[in-house]
Amino acid sequence: MLSTSLIVLIPLLPVLTFVLIALVGKKYFPSFCGVLGTLSLLAAFILAATVAYDYFFVVGKVGGVYQQIIPFKMTWLQFSPNVAIDMGILLDPISVMMILIVTFVSLMVHFYSLGYMKGEDRYATYYGFLGLFTFSMLGLVLSSNIFQIYIFWELVGLSSYLLIGFYFDKPSAVAAAKKAFIVTRFADLGFLVGILILSFYAGTLDFQTLILRLTTPTDQLHNIATASFLGCSALTWGLVLVFIGGAGKSAMFPLHIWLPDAMEGPTPVSALIHAATMVVAGVFLVARLFPVYAISCPPALDVVMWVGAASSFIAAVIACTQTDIKRVLAYSTMSQIGYMMFSLGVSRYGGENGLGYMASMFHLFTHAMFKALLFLCAGAVIHYTHSNEMKDMGGLRKLMPVTHLTFLIACLAIAGIPPFAGFFSKEEILQAAFNSNKAIFGIAIITAAITAFYMFRLYFNIFWNKPYHAHTGNHDSHHGEAPGTMLIPLILLGIMSVCAGFIPFGKLVTSDGHALLTEFHPTFSIAPVLLASLGIFIAWSFYKKQSPAPRRMADGLKGLYTAAYHKFYIDEIYLFITKKVIFNLVGRPAAWFDRNIVDGFMNLLATITEKISFLIKRMQSGKVQSYAAYFFVGVIGFVLLFIYWWT
Amino acid sequence: MNDIGLFHFLFVSCALFFIGVYGFLTRRNLITMLMSVELILNSVNINFIAFNKFLYADKLDGLFFTIFIITIAAAEAAVAIAIIINLYRNHKTIDVEEVDAMKY
């Protein structure tokens, strides 16, 4: 049975660990902090699994429909009798699924880091930050209130900032952390305005009430749909602005520029935050407000769809040209999140139309597993070779058999080869796209082929290609693959990547809570699988052995290749806009105004005061008798004044 | 005209007051300045007594004030002389012109 205190404990355990590590652990038992964090996460995972079991199979379903349950709610800030910010927990299929993903991946990462981060100077701090992040992420997915989600949204942004900048003595890491923070903050501004618009018209911050009021024909819905601004209704504006917030966090084009740089953080962090959990927060947010999008404002959903599809395709193209293995994975993450986004975008509410929603959540789940696995494998490879660059790798398959096998599984999963997890979720997405929008379907299927190509390009470059030889002089090439603490998470996630596809998601997570019967169409999946296999085959022929083919190909597509290699110059465009346009047109005049007008006024006041005091300071001569004379004259003056008044 | 009236008293008191003020403002020696202050206080005393006698002969308020002022003057003299002695110890002078360290 769902017990309130146990559910509350799920997010509280990591934050307690964080507080404990920060206050005493760092100082008194730094080397034990890792075990402490891992144990606490293990407990949280077990609780989350219990809650998930109870929710999905015992109490969640009433009359064949999954209910939203609020086991805990308290008023946190009461502004007025009608306006209050609550802190609560909302259990519904997606939040239960998310706590399961977050605690599981976080547990794997905690466990993996025991080996990966061993011997780091700030080992205890690292585990403290991980705890803080896990807490914030769990708080985010469990939020029952749109303002609460915003608070935790910022908290995950903060923990992401702290962890990207973990190696703060590296200037690039500091720059990456700042970039991630500023870009997401910029997007969060949209989110905040969106929250204000939606909650102003709906008259509530509470998710359930808000969704109810904005999806059924009420006064609120009428008002928000008729209030117009720049040709769009307030509802469209609110939802699009909320989506901008989500797009910033989820690295959607054109706000994706922070994600590749965020790979400066420790690799397990990339696995946890920048692959499996935090970056899907945007997808989660759209899914959370999905009824409002789908029922009341399909145009906003079209925006989600096109942005998702564009991001997915652009990121896939860029990923083909990158040489830093973590950056390839970062772009692949962006591409897969694009998949989830447009899958939500093509979906509608309820029944068969909700296929895209279900597929998106399904893909979120399977992606969390295989992408975390890919990152952790990449971490193991980096641990072994001490390099992020593909050219320093090659021929590692004999040296790192477990990593090789699990990486291969993950690659097959992401490429969508049956029977691995990604196949099932991707098929659902493609089917949803096929049913509603053929153009999106076209983009999606091409992206799927490119995905297979660049993932296997990565795979062959790391594990095949040329024989491995140590590159750095002091590298001890005889040290083993990786410690067991790093291999066990790989194996567990590998098993998940194989099996996760067989979970009957349509019965568990759907847009309206009703079970959705998904049919498996073998004929439909032939084309995507063939295209993916083609991608793998090309990668195989290019990169299995060192060959001149990739070079020739790159030269043949020179313009495209260079543009993709430079990430389509989006960073440069941003720099141009900020440095050349905004700094010159806004920054400099504002600075001039500040220096000359604002400061000038203050300086003027100070100067006047100084001058006057300089003039009259002679009065304070230190001579007692002159003071007495002033006093006497003053008294005489008063006497004369009073005599004048009274007579 | 041989009667001594209120005006005579007031004249004496007024003269005494201004002599005191003049002394306080012009004399450089702190002891002399203290004496001038005593003159001012005593001119006030005379005022009180005179008004009490000529205007409210059946009351004693003016007398009380006078006695009170004499007490205060005694205490004040004690404090002032203590200050003067300390000043002398620190500056080796009791000339007020010399003691002007407390200024801008």
At A603, is the pLDDT very low, low, confident or very high (cuts 50, 70, 90)?
Answer: very high
For B99, the closest chain A residue by CA position comes to A623
Element holding A115 (H helix, E strand): helix A93-116
d(Cα A202, Cα A415) in Å, to the nearest integer?
43
User: Is residue B103 less than 8 Å (CB to CB) from chain A?
Assistant: yes
From chain B residues 60-89, the ones with a CB under 8 A of any chain A CB are none
User: Is residue B21 less than 8 Å (CB to CB) from chain A?
Assistant: yes
Q: Virtual CA dihedral for A61, A512, A82, A149, nearest 10 degrees?
A: 90
Show residues of chain A in contact with B104, CB under 8 Å: 617-618, 620-622
Is the confidence at residue A607, as pLDDT, over 70? Answer: yes
At A470, is the pLDDT very low, low, confident or very high (cuts 50, 70, 90)?
Answer: low
Looking at residue A637, its pLDDT comes to 95
d(Cα A155, Cα A163) in Å, to the nearest integer?
12
Looking at residue B1, its pLDDT comes to 55
Residues of A near B (Cβ–Cβ under 8 Å) read 617-618, 620-625, 628-629, 632
d(Cα A20, Cα A426) in Å, to the nearest integer?
42
In A386-504, which residue ranges form alpha helices assigned H by DSSP? Answer: 401-415, 421-436, 438-463, 484-499
Q: Could you identify the residue written with the tokens 């096998």?
A: A405
One-letter amino acid for residue A454 of the chain: Y
Q: Virtual CA dihedral for A492, A497, A502, A504, nearest 10 degrees?
A: 90
d(Cα B49, Cα A624) in Å, to the nearest integer?
31
Helix (H, G, I), strand (E, B) or coil at A417: coil
Instruction: Pick the closest to residue A175 from A261, A278, A269, A279 (CA basis).
Output: A261
Looking at residue A598, its pLDDT comes to 92
Show residues of chain A in contact with B101, CB under 8 Å: 622
Average pLDDT over residues A598-619: 92
d(Cα A525, Cα A417) in Å, to the nearest integer?
10
At B80, is the pLDDT very low, low, confident or very high (cuts 50, 70, 90)?
Answer: very high
Is the confidence at residue A476, as pLDDT, over 70? Answer: no
| From A618, A620, A624, residue closest to B96, measured CB to CB | A624
The strand pairing partners of A77, in sequence order, are A85
Is the confidence at residue A610, as pLDDT, over 90? Answer: yes
Domain range summary for chain B, segments of one domain joined by +: 6-91
pLDDT in tens, A347-362: 888 777 788 888 888 8
B63's tokens = 């007398």
Testing the interface with B: which of A623, A633, A635, A636 to mutate, by most B Cβ within 10 A?
A623
Show residues of chain A in contact with B102, CB under 8 Å: 622
At A222, is the pLDDT very low, low, confident or very high (cuts 50, 70, 90)?
Answer: confident
pLDDT in tens, B9-65: 999 999 999 999 999 999 999 999 999 999 999 999 999 999 998 888 888 888 999
Most confident of A146-150, A502-506, A507-511, A568-572: A146-150
> How close does chain B come to A601, measured CA to CA in Å?
27
Looking at residue A103, its pLDDT comes to 92
Looking at residue A121, its pLDDT comes to 83
Contact B104 A620 (CB under 8 A): yes
Contact A620 B96 (CB under 8 A): no
User: What residues contact A610, with CB distance under 8 A and at least 6 apart?
Assistant: none
Looking at residue A471, its pLDDT comes to 55
One-letter amino acid for residue A280 of the chain: V
Q: Could you identify the residue written with the tokens 């005889």?
A: A478
Show residues of chain A in contact with B97, CB under 8 Å: 623
How do A228-229 and A65-66 pair as beta strands? unpaired
pTM for the complete prediction? 0.78
CB A245 within 8 A of CB A285: yes
CB A248 within 8 A of CB A311: no
Please spell the DSSP secondary structure of A241-308, one letter per residue. HHHHHHHHHTT-TTSTTHHHHGGGS-HHHHHIIIIISGGGHHHHHHHHTHHIIIII-HHHHHHHHHHH
- CA distance to A152, A280, B44, B81, per residue, from B76 (Å): 71, 84, 16, 8
- Mean residue pLDDT of chain A comes to 85
Testing the interface with A: which of B96, B97, B98, B99 to mutate, by most A Cβ within 10 A?
B96
pLDDT in tens, A260-270: 888 888 888 88
Choice among A179-188, A381-390, B79-88 with the minimum mean pLDDT: A381-390
CB A113 within 8 A of CB A126: yes
At A469, is the pLDDT very low, low, confident or very high (cuts 50, 70, 90)?
Answer: low
Radius of gyration of chain B (CA): 17
Helix axes A219-226, A207-215, angle to 10 degrees: 70
Please spell the DSSP secondary structure of A588-647, one letter per residue. HHHHHIIIIIIHHHHHHHHHHHHHHHHHHGGG--S-HHHHHHHHHHHHHHHHHHHHHHH-
Is the confidence at residue A478, as pLDDT, over 60? Answer: no
Looking at residue A265, its pLDDT comes to 85
Show residues of chain B in contact with A623, CB under 8 Å: 96-97, 100, 103
The strand pairing partners of B95, in sequence order, are B29
User: Is residue B57 less than 8 Å (CB to CB) from chain A?
Assistant: no
Average pLDDT over residues A593-610: 93
Instruction: Please report the number of interchain residue pairs, chain A to chain B, with beta-carbon separation below 8 angstroms.
Output: 29
Average pLDDT over residues A548-570: 78
d(Cα A617, Cα A412) in Å, to the nearest integer?
86
Average pLDDT over residues B77-82: 94
Choice among A214-223, A378-387, A487-496, B94-103 with the minimum mean pLDDT: A214-223
Share of chain A above pLDDT 70, in %: 97
Average pLDDT over residues A304-327: 89
For A627, the closest chain B residue by CA position comes to B25
Domain B6-91 has CATH 3.40.30.10: no
- CA distance to A6, A94, A95, A616, per residue, from A72 (Å): 11, 17, 14, 69
Choice among A240-244, A253-257, A281-285, A557-561 with the minimum mean pLDDT: A557-561
Show residues of chain A in contact with B40, CB under 8 Å: none
Q: How far is CA A115 from the centre of its chain?
A: 25
Looking at residue A117, its pLDDT comes to 85
